[in-house]
Structure formats: structure tokens, C-alpha cells
Structure 1
Amino acid sequence: MPTQAPTSAWIRRFHPAPAAGRRLVLLPHAGGSASFFFPLSRALAPTVDVLAVQYPGRQDRRGEPCVDDLGTLADLVTAELLPWTDRPLALFGHSLGAVLAYEVARRLEERGTVPLKLYVSGRGEPDGRRGEQVHLLDDDALVKTMTLLAGTELEVPDEELLRLTLPSLRSDHKAIESYRHRPGPPLKTPVVALTGDRDPKVTPEDAGRWSRYTTGAFDLRVFDGGHFYLVRQLDGVADAVRETLV
């Protein structure tokens, strides 16, 4: 690790693994927080040094303004990660986090750092447009939409607490819904796409199209479950990371 581990409001290092030879950065979904990845961090320690990213506008950063532009968010996250590139580093993003991880990988490569791997979970190719306008829904409709997407896999707080997360949910959805892919060369970084076989947002075929965005190796892992398959498939996801993070 760096001679002195950087301190940052952006980074959560739940299970420090200073002897690990590889580092994995976890980027959460829309409305999500770093703590969503606590179980995966625990499952991978101490083999992998795991960093979870905390976006502004949630939990202990609730007092900070949210970032509703994905390109800006990618710039900010990349800057925060540069001090951690002293050892091989991989990126893992779920849903919105998948596209954000891809954009961070592009920026790292532009700076001469090729990530070990890019894990894109619960999201189709970055150039695919869904035409969604979730961020424009009223509060009641937004709560209903998020509850349905969580299904039985994600523990949803009661409605009063859920409404406290609406500013970050709305901002994150605006960021991903207004995102437009910037043409450019494919990544050199190998890509692993992961998805649930019953995800209402992403089919395995959708996930497979990520192969177009890298000249490196590509792997597709399909798990039993919906959009938040990785909650119940924690062991399988951790195994997939350990098998491919080489």
C-alpha cells in the first residue's frame, strides 16, 4: 500500500489487507453507499485489499451535494484512486457503478495505468440507451420503482427512511440517464460481466455485449437472481473475483 494510506471521504477500507498483492475498488449502484459492499469486502479479505467508494450525498456524506453528472463523478473518483495505484488495481461496479467503473478505467488507461480487470455487474453495454426518466418521477413513484427493483433480494428500509435517500437516488438516476457514451478506443483492460438470470433490466445477452468494449479477455458470469443477485450470491461472486483477478 502507499507509504501512508491516503485518507479520503470517498474511500472506505473496511478490511485492510496490506499484504495483499491485488486491490479491488467497489463502486455502488444508484442510491447505494459503500456499506452495500461490506459483505463482499469481508469475503475477499485478506486475499484482496478492497476499497469501497462512498459517493457524496449519502450516509456520512449526506450534507454534501450529490453529483448528477456521470463524467464529473468519474473524474472525481479517478482523482481519488490515483494514490492507490501503487499496486495492481481492479474495478467492480454494480448497475450505475458498472458504467462509472468503465469510465474510471478509461481515465486510468489514459493516464498510463491499465487496471487488472473491470467487473461490470447488473448493467448492459455503456452505449445502450434505455430511455428511462426515473429521476423525473415524483417521490411516491420513485419509492415504488425502487422497491420493485429491490425485489426480495435487497433489504429495503421502511418508507420513511427510504424517502431520506431520495435526493441521492434522484441525482444518481439523473447521472446515468443523461450519460452518453464518448466514442474512443476499446479498453485494454480485461472485462468480466456479471448478471442475474432474472434481472428485469439486463439480459445475459445485454451483459455479453460488454465484450465489444475491450481488446482484452472477456468473461460472462450468469447467476441465479434478479437485479441485486449479488446479495444472495455473495459466495459465488467472491469466488468469481478470486478466480479471475489475476
Structure 2
Amino acid sequence: MRHPEGPMDDWWLRAGAGAGATGERARRRVVALPHAGGWPSAFRSWWQVLPPDAELLVAQLPGRGARLGEPPLASVEALVEALSRELAERDPLPYTVVGHSFGSVLGYELTRAMEQKGLAPDLLAVSARQPPCFPSLPPFAHLRSDAQLLEHLTEIGGMAPQLMTRPELVQPALRAIRADLEAMERHQRPLTGTGVPILALGAVDDPVVVAERLHLWSLETTGGFHRSLYTGGHFYLYAHANAAAIARRLLADRPGPTAGHPAPPTPGRPVPVPDGVPAPPPRKETP
């Protein structure tokens, strides 16, 4: 297994073969943002499957990993400001952004921020998160009790059941998860979308996200749009086989313009739902 190597700044952990383990110079970059409370190690399956010329940068937010002692931030804006600033300072490489669950919200806003700097990625892959046209509604998950939050995380596969009886281990994780959930649930859809093509990813058996809604990420870009579905529950993206298949697609494939692709809707107007796409009442999403 290839472990994280190479230099690390506060916000980005450089991992995988592209970090210099083989001496081969990276030609492409994958910028990855984990789920709520996720450590950089969430993407360990990805640094195992990426080719030697692909660099993996994984976000390391306050309150986890080497930054465990720092207080987490409960603001998408504050997180994206720091992430985009430090990403812009790195050596330029063609890159793709991939975010999972809460990481999709960060990835979307990071993409918009990098566009404003003239450093846009060539593709945004959003995974296991409903599009911004479906805002989070109360009761908010970040206001749940520790016991309720732990129970939910265990049900969706985000925490091992044996940790339910180890509060000394889970409390630091819960602080980061709660902060990320608050940031996600208070996030407001921006007035403008992105011109970067979007690839929406999800699992047909995800107990948290309505898979049919993923198509509506097409409303957030004036670029191309595609959608791909897999199996494996809410955390399907980290399964080795799925990681390998999706990584190959991100590095080799670029979604082209979709015929009749809709522009982002005017703020304040109802969001049109394409024929055949059900729009059930909003479902709560957690990490």
C-alpha cells in the first residue's frame, strides 16, 4: 500500500505515487475532499489505484489528522477561502476535483473559487450529495445529540459499531463531523454556478441520498454533464473497485457538452424537474 508521502501544508496532504515515491514527475492532479469528519486517509484506496504520474491532494481540515488539536470550522466560506488560497500557491498542473458527500459541497465551492482566480479544474466530480437546489431543511443533523448522531453514523456505515462504547475515541471525531454538518446544512446555493463540466456520482443503494436527484447537478454548470451510478452504500466511493473505476474515468475521460444542457436557473425561481425524475420531499443528508 502506498502511504502519504512528500510535503504537507496545513490544508492539503500530498499522497500516492505522484507524491514522488517512484521519482516520476506528476503530470496530472486529483484534488479530493472527504465526507463530513473525514480524514485524508478516507482516500487511501485512491492513492493505491492512481497511476504513478497522477498526484493526489487530499484536504486535511482542522480537527482531524495531523490537525486534530485545532478547532474545526463550521463555515463553507472559511474552509474554501483557505483551501483555494493554498491550492493556488502550488505548482500548476491540470487537475480534477472530486468531493464525497460534504466534500461535494466544498468541491463545488472550491471549483467556483478557483475559476475566479483563473485556475479552474477541467472537471468537477460530485459524489453522494444532492445538488444545491435541494437545500438542507430542519431538523438539522448537526443539532442531534451525540447518541443520535452516533446511531445514524453506524447505520449508514460511517462508524464501526464497537466505537459506540468508546467515547474517548469518538468525541474528537464527533466534533469535526458536527462542524462539517453545520457548514453543509447552512450552505446556501450561490447566485451563479460554474462553467466547469460536472460528473455526478452516486450509489443506487445509498440510504441517505436520492439517486434520481443527482441528475439535477446539471443545473449547476454551463459546461458538460454526466452521471454514473454504482453500488456500495453511502461510502461506495472508497471501495477499492469503485475507486479504481472512477479514478480511471477521471483521468481518461472528460464529459462533453450535453445536448440541450440547461443553464443554471435564475435565483429565486422554481427549479424545473426533467421528465421522469421524481422530486420526493427533501431527505436528510449526513456524512
Normalising to structure 1: TM-score of the pair? 0.90
CA separation of 1:96 and 1:36: change in aligned 2, threshold 3 A: same
- Matched residue count: 239
Q: What is the deviation of 1:155?
A: 5.2
Partner of 1:238 in structure 2? 247
1:163 paired residue number: 171
Which of 139, 150, 153 is matched with 1:146 structurally?
A: 153
In terms of fraction of residues, the more helix-rich structure is 1
Could you tell me which runs of 5 or more consecutive residues in structure 1 were left unpaired when the two chains were aligned.
none
SS of structure 2 residue aligned to 1:50: strand
Cα RMSD (Å) of the superposition?
2.0
Q: CA deviation at 1:147?
A: 0.9
Q: 1:157 to 1:102 in 2, by over 3 A?
A: farther
Cα distance in 2 for residues equivalent to 1:240 and 1:155: 30
Q: Is the 8 A contact 2:13 2:57 kept in 1?
A: yes
Aligned partner of 1:210 in structure 2 is: 217
Inter-partner Cα distance in structure 1 for 2:72 and 2:172: 13
Q: Does structure 2 retain, via aligned residues, the 8 Å contact 1:116–1:190?
A: yes
Deviation at 1:35, TM superposition (A): 0.9
* Bigger radius of gyration: 2
The answer to which of 114-123 and 41-50 deviates more is 41-50
CA distance in 2, matches of 1:28, 1:156: 21
Deviates more, 1:125-134 or 1:36-45: 125-134
Other-structure match for 1:88:
94
- The 5-angstrom pairing of residues 72-221 of structure 1 reads 72-84=78-90, 86-132=92-138, 133-150=140-157, 158-159=163-164, 160=166, 161-184=169-192, 186-221=193-228
Name the SS of the counterpart of 1:188 in structure 2.
Answer: coil
The AA in structure 1 aligned to 2:163 is D
Identity over the aligned pairs, expressed in percent?
Answer: 33
Pairwise CA distance, 1:47: 3.4
The 2-side partners of 1:51 and 1:174 are apart by 24
Distance apart, 1:174 and its partner CA: 0.7
Secondary structure of 2:129's counterpart equals coil
CA-CA distance at 1:72 after TM superposition: 1.2
